[in-house]
Amino acid sequence: MTPDLSLSLSLAAPELIIAIGALVLLMIGAFSGERANTTVTGLAVAVLIGAGAWLVLFTGTGEAFGSAFVSDSFARFMKVLTLIGSVVTLIMSVGFAKAEKFDKFEFPVLIMLSTLGMMVMISANNMIALYLGMELQSLALYVVAAINRDSVRSTEAGLKYFVLGALSSGMMLYGISLIYGYTGHVGFAEITNALMGGERQLGLVFGLVFLLAGIAFKISAVPFHMWTPDVYEGAPTPVTAFFAAAPKMAAMALLVRVTVGTFGPVAHDWQQILVFVSIASMVLGAFAAIGQKNIKRLMAYSSIGHMGYALVGLAAANEAGVRGVIIYMTIYLGMTLGTFAFILAMRRRDGNVESISDLAGLSNTNPVMATILTILMFSLAGIPPLAGFWGKWYVFLAAIDAKLYALAVIGVLASVVGAYYYLRIIKIMWFDEPVGGFQPMAGELRLVLGISGAFVLLYMLFMGPLEAVAQTAAKTFF
Amino acid sequence: MIESAILIPLVTIPFVVSLIALALPSNARNTEAWIAGITALGLFILTAMQYPAVDDGGAIRHNIEWVPQLGLNMTFRMDGFAWLFTMLITGIGFLVVIYARYYMSPEDPVPRFYAFLLAFMGSMLGVVNSGNLIQLVVFWELTSVFSFLLIGYWYHNAAARDGARMALTITALGGLCLLAGILLIGQVVGSYDLDTVLASGSMIRGHKLYVPILVLVLIGAFTKSAQFPFHVWLPNAMSAPTPVSAYLHSATMVKAGVFLMTRLWPVLAGTPEWFTIVGLAGMATLLLGAFFAIFQQDIKGLLAYSTISHLGLITLLLSLGSPLGLVAAIFHMANHATFKASLFMAAGIIDHEAGTRDMRKLGGLFSLMPVTATLAMVASAAMAGVPLLNGFLSKEMFFAEAIEHHADSILDTAAPYVAVLASAFAVTYSIRFIHGVFFGKIPADMPKHPHEPPFFMRLPAMLLVLICLVVGILPGQTIGGYLNSAAMAVLGPEMPEYSLSIWHGFNVPLLMSVLALVAGILLYGILKTYLATSEEGPPYFRELKGQRIFERVMVSVSWRWARLLESWLGTRRLQPQLRLLAFIALVAAVLAATRRGVPHPTLSLGNMDLLFTGLWAIGIICAIGAAYQAKYHRLYALILMGGAGLVTCISFIWLSAPDLALTQLVVEVVTTVLILLGLRWLPKRIEQNYDGVSLETRLRRGRDMLLAVGCGAGTAFLAYVVMVRQPPQTIADFFVENAYELGGGRNIVNVILVDFRGFDTFGEITVLGIVALTVFSLLRRFRPAPDNIDSPEQQLLQSRHTARSDESEEAETASIADEYLYMPSVIMQWLFPVIIVFAFYLFLRGHDAPGGGFVAGIAMAAAFILQYMAAGTRWVEERLRVLPVRWMGMGLLVAAATGLGAWVFGYPFLTSHAQYIELTLIGKVPAATALIFDFGIFSLVMGATVLMLIAIAHQSIRKLRAAKLPTAQENA
């Protein structure tokens, strides 16, 4: 092997581990029949953790495969977040799989493939790699969304997601080809160089707009959010948990890389787009969630809103902003996984329930669960001193640094409105008449919920080191 | 510094003790009362000892650095004014604790009560002793929260829950406004330190943000102090336990608003805006509160409205902007706290003893509980402003201020009249309270037989009434000094001249007092009989329930609007989602275009070819027609789509790309066949209702058409702009130059496929094979779900045919052609060998001329599938053995072997070798190794396509999953 190739392979080792692992597990699943699910899930978790360990311990910094792939501190950090999202989702799915006849070994394999796509997205350093990663994760997600083929809702959700996703992918591809047509390059670094000199042409702006539209679809930011509530509600809960966690990390990382990194010289152009998208997401996320009755649908609007807040930091287009985005996404991941662990634990004897009214009086029937969910909800609402508050704090601070006062003010107001529906859940749990408790929580869910609660509650303790890591990661672009 | 540190325990101790109180067992009422009482008393004494430091305008400050980088400090600051409030809070707090010990029943979980009460006390102390405005807001919000918890203490009671929620909603929203106002102040001044802010009054008043600051801060203060129109929460908060009402809703919390207004008085007051807003609110509150109080039947309701009215009085005094008015306001705050707290305690005693607070059910209690009655009478006399009591003094000062001239406005002119009227009302409701409860006959239906309460339950009220009396008789000697230092803390050195004495000689204020007393008594005389039986609330206004309005607003905001928003913003159906997506893309593109300026590529019509244009016109018409028919007639749409595709093919030929055209043509044919097979399972058409198309539908269609035209035009324009642009250096030139030399072929596309990018192609055919297998395995077990639409016509024919063939042995071999498609089927059968030859020809010429393995494979597949279409699945499979999977495997192996062959000769994978060989009869034939590779492609493409098509074709011999088709049953 040429030294160039071996360097490339070593930089992309975590991706390779996952890719090979996914193929092997697919074979294991296909040949060992119906009961393979638990084994495959366990092995998938092991492979993903292995990839994560390799990523943290051995992966260096550099560019691979002719600059198509880049590994830097930002990429590594976001990849770790993505892997955490995937691993936790898989762990949480085990109990659900047993209880709900969801034993499909394809699920862990698809999650792995999707994770692989996400990691390629995060490390993408040219448009081809970007598209490749994006489509790999999307295709897996389309299938995963509709994985419960016997459920009309799930099928419908998958189909809708596919149609809209294909449309937005098409738009993005159109944008990429325009960018290529006007700069003559696909590499991010070359595009940046091309943007530095010369006037900006219309085609390039079009290209940028369409590219951002495609990525905005993946992070479910308004106005490309329409699929989110349907998919969240329709898909089986472990799938929803996955949708809420890992892909958001990857798409947000990609967005950061494309805007702040590649299109840094034309920050003015995309900043306005992001400000609009951010405001629209925050406001819609806050208002549309109020009337929801299904907790998964509520979480969909919640995630739309949260992406809006994260974008506040990105819209600031400065180092503090990127740091804010990184911290925000970390905290969001923690809160979301915890909340979904809770939703997965909403089981009665006759199956899972998803309606918010089912939480009534939970403080009586299961005080521990109720307390942790209360902490999570307070955190999602952004109430100090919980983690959610600090996430918002960093992004708003960055926005104010960048003199985006209107954005910051609207963000704060939206979070006040948003607090309403989080608090409503708390109120229902603590003050309404009990409607009967849930089954005891499965061990793995208890673990996830506990860790998430502790993370949110004790965030103050380790926010220093985390901030330092985020700072290093953000430095990549400045 | 050491002395000033005393402020920290002053604020923190209540919170600490509150936690301790919470930890005690729920039946420890005595312990609870003891520790709470000792805490309050201790703090009271501690505060009292600080007086020398705050006398004469002095202040204690204590600063704790918290996050100095952000300029955030904890600052405690006590001056004369804060001292006075601290005394009130701790003193009355102490008395309320004693009172509550006897008031709360043994069943009530008292730890929660005392814990909340103490925490509330701490929050309140925090508000008055904050030296930093942000810190003040934090404590301010804490008072809202603890007030919420205290009002909702009896949470099993719906009224308590509603009242608590309403109080929290209104005061917390006010707190939010206050925070915004404070942040603006910080923006203007550059500091949140109270001293700094107080010193920059003129700067703030002159700033352009003054009005927003004023409005926001005032909303905060008004909501807390229950000023009109935010007063609605206070009467509903009366569902709290009475000690809570006595403490929060008379003496402390509601005073926080007027406290803040006084605190910021040097900064904000004195402008016309201040006078108008504050004066108007104060006057309305004063008058309406007093008027409503007359008509209350609940004692606590009466006291609540009376509190509102008195707070209005204080606000009105503050609005005047005169130093003397401020002194009177501070004085009245203290006076009101004492007499109102004692009145609430008396009300609680009555409730406790008689079992009701409804004045219609009470009467003649004087004979049963004379001591309580006397206390209540003295306190309500103070409330009414009877001489020799503290209420009289501050009311006199108010009258004196009201007749002063301050500003040229109707408001100022009206002030004296409003003052007298409101005082008359105050007299009326005070008499009503005393007369209605303590005199007259003892009603028969009183729930309990009352007697005097325990001494310690009366003691707090007694002490407070004593203060009323002492202050009322000897004002100068008792409160004079403290009042002076409190006022000085606000006003600074410019203290006005005033005298605190009960007798100022015969003057206008005295006349007004007398007038108010007489009018009040007369008014009660008139209303007495009406009030004895009337409903709760004043006539006419009682329909206008504040609570109902509030509930309605809450429901609207939280549910109705949310639903509405969801129906606007939520898009469950795919159609609007897609529409929205297209629309957004269009808007984004248009915006980008308008901002950046649209380039003007010149459109030269000179070299336009008429025929080509006409061709395209046909293509466009076909495309539009296809889109138009897509919903109502799928078959037409498909045919039109074929037309558009054909035009595309011709365009390729026109533009000298015959191989592209060929591929396009074949792909077109195969996809059309595929869709045709799919159509079998869909209804042929949705009947279009041409008559009943509503206007709405027309509008919607029009909008969609506009959107479609916009998007189409935009895309076309963009494509045009890109096309006329000078393209950057492309890779195409390389292939054009090197195709023959390096690849040995003249068909550049084919050379690229099989030679230059051979590895890619190898990958692609692998993928194609996988896809085919996937489609096959998915469809193998596929049975369409039963549909609720009538089966399409062609399917009925088919099923009739199948049904018959099931019955009779002969029919087994009969083809669909017997039923329909007779002529085409014959033609299609005849075409079979022709197409095979054609495919072979395409394959062979591929290297130098348009053609190649891919096209040949598809053409071959078309030959097979046409047979299926012509004769039906069974007929074909009887006669032909199609083994697509073997074809695929062979193709893949051949392609791989070719690649590996290169290795054998020591070249990299897939290196090709090209030469021509001379064959007899046929002539010169190209014999590149690429040709073998191309055969692999051909074989795989053919196999994969046929496999997929067969998978679909096999659907025709399946039946619907559920019930049989109705027609099939009829026939059978």
Each residue's pLDDT tens digit, A115-169? 999 999 999 999 999 999 999 999 999 999 888 888 888 888 888 899 989 988 9
Whether chain B has a CB inside 8 Å of the CB on A16: the answer is no
Closest among A128, A74, A72 to A250, alpha carbons compared = A74
pLDDT at position B438 over 80: yes
CA-nearest residue to B583 within chain A is A223
Mean residue pLDDT of chain B comes to: 79
pLDDT score recorded for residue A311:
94
Please report, in angstroms and rounded to a whole number, the separation of the first and last CA atoms in chain B: 106
- In this predicted model, what pLDDT tens digit does every residue of B616-663 receive, in sequence order? 899 999 998 988 887 777 888 888 999 999 999 998 888 877 777 877
- Whether the pLDDT of residue B506 is over 60: the answer is yes
Among residues B492, B518, B534, which one ends one of the domains?
B534
Q: What mean pLDDT comes out for the span B510-531? A: 83
Q: Do B585 and A202 touch (CB under 8 A)?
A: no
With 50 as the cut, is the pLDDT of residue B505 above it?
A: yes
Locate B83 and state its tokens.
Answer: 């001292």
pLDDT reported for residue A18: 95
Buried b (16+ CB within 10 A) or exposed e, B679-692: bbbeeebeeeeeee
Q: What is the pLDDT of residue B544?
A: 63
Judge: A227–B581 Cβ closer than 8 Å, yes or no. no
CB contacts of A273 in chain B (<8 Å) are 588
Would residue B454 count as lying in a domain? yes
Determine contact, residues A134/A117, Cβ cutoff 8 Å: yes
Residue B566 lies in a domain: no
Closest CA–CA distance from residue A56 to any residue of chain B (Å): 33
Q: What is the pLDDT of residues B199-209, one digit of tens each?
A: 888 888 888 88
Is A104 a residue whose pLDDT tops 90? no
Domain total of chain B: 2
Instruction: Give yes or no for residue B910 having a pLDDT over 70.
Output: no
Structure tokens belonging to residue B750: 């084919």
Assign A14 a pLDDT band (cuts: 50, 70, 90).
Answer: very high
Max avg pLDDT among A347-351, A419-423, B67-71: A419-423
Give the separation between CA B91 and CA A337, rounded to whole angstroms.
50
Residue B424 above 80 pLDDT?
yes
pLDDT (tens digit per residue) in B256-287: 888 988 888 888 888 888 888 888 888 888 88
Q: Token pair for residue A208?
A: 């940028």
Kindly state the average pLDDT of the residues B447-452: 77
User: Which chain A positions have a beta carbon within 8 Å of B584's beta carbon?
Assistant: 213, 223-224
How far is C-alpha B544 from the chain's CA centre? Answer: 30
What's the mean pLDDT when you consider all of chain A?
89
Task: Using the predicted structure, report yes or no on whether residue B871 has a pLDDT greater than 80.
Answer: no
pLDDT: is B282 or B794 the higher one?
A: B282
Task: Pick the range with the lowest mean pLDDT from A72-86, B19-33, B896-910.
Answer: B896-910
Model pLDDT, residue B599: 67
The pLDDT of residue B303 is above 50: yes
Cβ contact B622:B644 at 8 Å: yes
Q: What is the mean pLDDT of residues B456-461?
A: 85
What does the pLDDT read at residue B960? 47
Q: Which residues of B touch A431 (CB under 8 A)?
A: 155, 161
Question: Above 60 in pLDDT, residue B524?
Answer: yes
Residue B555 belongs to some domain of the structure: no
Q: Is B769 among the domain residues?
A: yes
Option in A163, A223, A290 nearest B574 (CB): A163
Rounded Cα–Cα distance for residues B380 and B389 (Å):
10
pLDDT at B923: 59
Confidence of residue B971 (pLDDT cuts 50, 70, 90): very low
Mean pLDDT, residues B238-245: 84
In the predicted structure, residue B68 carries a pLDDT above the cut 70: no
**Percentage of the residues of chain A whose pLDDT score is greater than 70:** 99
At residue B969, does pLDDT exceed 50? no
pLDDT in tens, B88-114: 888 888 988 888 888 887 777 788 888
Give the DSSP letter of residue B387: T
Domain boundary among B534, B563, B591: B534
Under the banding of pLDDT at 50, 70 and 90, the label for residue B812 is very low
- The Cα B832–Cα B238 span in angstroms is 94
CA distance B337 to B327: 16
In this prediction, residue A324 carries a pLDDT of: 93
> Where residue B686 falls among pLDDT bands split at 50, 70, 90?
low
Q: Do B584 and A287 touch (CB under 8 A)?
A: no
Question: In this structure, are residues A290 and B554 in contact, taking their beta carbons and an 8 Å threshold?
Answer: no
What per-residue confidence (pLDDT) applies to B915?
63
Q: What is the reported pLDDT for B790?
A: 55
Final residue before a domain boundary, out of B478, B502, B534: B534
pLDDT > 50? residue B811: no
> Which residue is closest to B584 within chain A, CA to CA?
A223
Domain assignment of residue B209, yes or no: no
Number of inter-chain CB pairs under 8 A, A vs B? 91
A-chain residue closest to B563, CA distance: A291
CA distance B137 to chain A (A): 15
The predicted model gives B387-413 an average pLDDT of 78
> What's the domain range around B313?
269-534
Nearest Cβ partner of A206 from B155, B161, B589? B589
pLDDT of residue A456: 92
Residues in chain B within 8 Å Cβ distance of A396: none
Domain annotation covers residue B806: yes
Least confident of A236-240, B703-707, B882-886: B882-886
- Please give the Cα distance from B178 to B176 (Å, whole number): 5
Residue B837 domain flag: yes
Query: How many angstroms separate the CA of residue A252 from the nearest CA in chain B?
Result: 20
Task: Assess whether pLDDT exceeds 80 at residue A420.
Answer: yes
B376-413 CB burial, b ≥16 within 10 A, e <16: bbbbbbbbbbbbebbbbbbbbbbbbbbeeebeeeebbe
CB B962 within 8 A of CB B786: yes
Residue B69 lies in a domain: no
Express each pLDDT in B532-585 by its tens digit: 777 766 666 666 666 677 777 777 776 777 777 667 666 677 788 888 888 888
Q: What is the pLDDT of residue B964?
A: 43
Cα gap B945→B439, rounded to integer Å: 104
